[in-house]
Amino acid sequence: MNLPIGLGIPEGPPPTLAPRRKTRQLMVGGVGVGSDHPITVQSMTTTKTHDINATLQQIAQLATAGCDIVRVACPKTVDAEALPAIAAKSPIPVIADIHFQPKYIFAAIDAGCAAVRVNPGNIKEFDGRVKEVAKAAGDAGIPIRIGVNGGSLDKRLLEKYGKATPEALVESAIYEAGLFEEHGYGDIAISVKHSDPVLMVEAYRQLAAKTDYPLHLGVTEAGPKFMGTIKSSVAFGALLAEGIGDTIRVSLSADPVEEIKVGDQILQSLNLRPRKLEIVSCPSCGRAQVDVYKLAEEVTAGLDGMEFPLRVAVMGCVVNGPGEARDADLGVASGNGKGQIFVKGEVVETVPESKIVETLIAHANRIAEEEGLEQVAGAKAEVKVTR
């Protein structure tokens, strides 16, 4: 059955919760950062940077997952020596992450990194080297991120405030940015990360009110996948809902590809990035006439990789099922061992429960073909229908 179908692309730009806070603009390699550009998702490699092949392989995985900008650690000379090859071969801009040793800042700039992240709280004699850093970065035309972190706050501010309060984080960042500005360098992004989402949100709010630098959001050391996802989502959500934030990094004790998936989904949820596949599935309850969890997982797996916006409803019974399925681009309302398949609000067929997944995938692929898009659904995941 070939019904004409409009995909879930809304007319005009989709609504967001607030206009973006106006910032100055930066270029990190070929990626724009600031209010004139889409919010970007970052992550950081977990490989030893001096293992060039492993690092490039992980960067490729992150890029495939949707990572816009990647950061690599540079703790040793061998890591600094690997930066030219990594910067040259990476498919996305590489930021060198420098702690402790100012000499690696210059090595990273010489290596062709797209930007450098410095942590003024733990770089030796950093204040005295700002002039040199500003000149080297300015000559190379690359930005610097001043990355203040609650766990490694400048000792002076720790003494002044007693602990890493939002005020202390902000004062540190503004002070360091001011040193760069004194030397005529303003190509700066700032982060004021804290592991407590409440303190983090407050720090970024204060910072946003005081500067026009682009802000890189992060709840640092957010925790394992589940907890870290929640902490990052609520904190980023609060700030992004106020228009604050130009790049984000979800910090998880998990594969960094997971960080990209979470970051991507946070932005999609707030209409800050075009929505792709969206599964609307019910939580199931005593009325369910199908194993909703299994069905939703199988449909999600089967449609993995879908690059165009498609809202798919997977509903367990006829209470809310038909309503949600009708509102979606594609949907199923299950009951009595059957699934009513909806396409854009119309029931197009009723299939036995065992055929629901493959039928939904077939319709999704047909829609993709009609839109001139590559067939993606079902191509990446082998879907076994077991019912």
Q: Which of 8, 359, 24, 370 is nearest to 187 (CA)?
A: 24
Least gap, CB of 352 to ligand SF4 (angstroms)? 19
Partners of 342 in the β-ladder: 331, 347
Residue closer to ligand SF4 by CB (options 120, 321) is 321
**Could you tell me which residues come within 8 angstroms of residue 369 by beta carbon, excluding any fewer than 6 positions away?**
375
- Which of 283, 372, 382, 386 contacts ligand SF4 by CB under 6 A? 283
Residue closer to ligand SF4 by CB (options 102, 321) is 321
62-94 burial by CB neighbour count: b if 16+ within 10 A, else e?
bbebbbbbbbbbbbeeebbebbbebbeebebbb
Q: Where does this chain touch ligand SF4 (CB under 6 A) — which range of 17-25, 46-54, 192-200, 309-317?
A: 309-317
* H helices, E strands: number in the chain: 12, 15
Residue closer to ligand SF4 by CB (options 13, 283) is 283
Residue closer to ligand SF4 by CB (options 115, 360) is 360
Partners of 330 in the β-ladder: 312, 343
Least gap, CB of 258 to ligand SF4 (angstroms)? 28
Residue 365 phi/psi, 5-degree rounding, is -65, -35
Residue closer to ligand SF4 by CB (options 157, 317) is 317
If 0-12 CB within 10 Å is exposed, 13-18 middle and 19+ buried, where does residue 178 land?
exposed
Residue closer to ligand SF4 by CB (options 120, 316) is 316
Residue closer to ligand SF4 by CB (options 188, 290) is 290
AA letter at 57: Q
Least gap, CB of 4 to ligand SF4 (angstroms)? 28
Question: How many positions of this chain bind ligand SF4 (CB under 6 A)?
Answer: 12
The full DSSP string for 170-233 is: HHHHHHHHHHHHHTT---EEEEEEBSSHHHHHHHHHHHHHH--S-BEE-BTT--SHHHHHHHHH
- Positive or negative, the CA dihedral 248, 170, 145, 16 is positive
Least gap, CB of 281 to ligand SF4 (angstroms)? 8
Least gap, CB of 357 to ligand SF4 (angstroms)? 17
Site for ligand SF4 in 238-257 (CB under 6 A): none
Least gap, CB of 289 to ligand SF4 (angstroms)? 7
- Positive or negative, the CA dihedral 128, 133, 139, 142 is negative
Q: Where does this chain touch ligand SF4 (CB under 6 A) — which range of 150-158, 161-169, 204-212, 284-292?
A: 284-292
Least gap, CB of 284 to ligand SF4 (angstroms)? 5
Radius of gyration of the chain (CA): 24
Site for ligand SF4 in 58-77 (CB under 6 A): none
- Which of 47, 101, 284, 350 contacts ligand SF4 by CB under 6 A? 284
Asked if 285 touches ligand SF4 (CB under 6 A), the answer is yes
CB 43 within 8 A of CB 256: yes
Partners of 215 in the β-ladder: 190
Residue closer to ligand SF4 by CB (options 282, 356) is 282
- Which of 103, 155, 287, 380 contacts ligand SF4 by CB under 6 A? 287
Q: Say if strands 330-335 and 338-343 run parallel, antiparallel, or are unpaired.
A: antiparallel
Q: Where does this chain touch ligand SF4 (CB under 6 A) — which range of 52-60, 231-239, 277-285, 339-347?
A: 277-285
Least gap, CB of 294 to ligand SF4 (angstroms)? 13
What mask of x and - would describe binding to ligand SF4 in positions 312 to 351, judged by CB under 6 A?
A: ---xxx-xxx------------------------------
Least gap, CB of 280 to ligand SF4 (angstroms)? 10
**Could you tell me which residues come within 8 angstroms of residue 290 by beta carbon, excluding any fewer than 6 positions away?**
316, 317, 334, 335, 339, 353, 356
**Residue 126 three-state SS:** helix
Least gap, CB of 290 to ligand SF4 (angstroms)? 8
CB 332 within 8 A of CB 318: no
Which residues of this chain interact with ligand SF4, rule CB under 6 A? Answer: 282-285, 287-288, 315-317, 319-321
